Amino acid sequence: MKKDSILLITTGDYSDYYVQGLFKVLKEINKITVVSEFNEACPAGRGDDRQSKFLAWLAASGYVEDIEHEEWHIGSYGQVSVT
């Protein structure tokens, strides 16, 4: 990803799918390379929450910063209503 891009990070599958957040990319990121760097810097331990550690590591390593944002759910079944 290019610097100044917006990165949406998600986790989970199906009903466990979750948006972790929106982030501004502070320096160019190759997702394969950055995951390898993380795994080398932070070896897995028992009971680790690897996803939370990865997000914290991305920020601490200067790759991303959190973007203040808000979610708008604009309805279901073709109807528009903001909740």
Q: In terms of DSSP H, where are the helices of 1-83?
A: 31-41, 50-60
Q: What is the pLDDT of residue 79?
A: 85
What predicted TM-score, i.e. pTM, was given to this entire model? 0.81
Average of per-residue pLDDT across 8-22: 90
Instruction: Tell me the pLDDT tens digit for each residue of 24-65.
Output: 999 999 999 999 999 999 988 777 789 999 999 999 999 999
Which residue carries 């991303």 as its tokens? 64
Give counts: helices (H), strands (E), the chain. Answer: 2, 3
Q: How many CB atoms lie within 10 A of CB 16?
A: 7
How far CA 70 is from CA of 22, 52, 65, 73, in Å, comes to 10, 20, 16, 10
Q: Which residues contact 32 (CB under 8 A, 6 or more apart)?
A: none
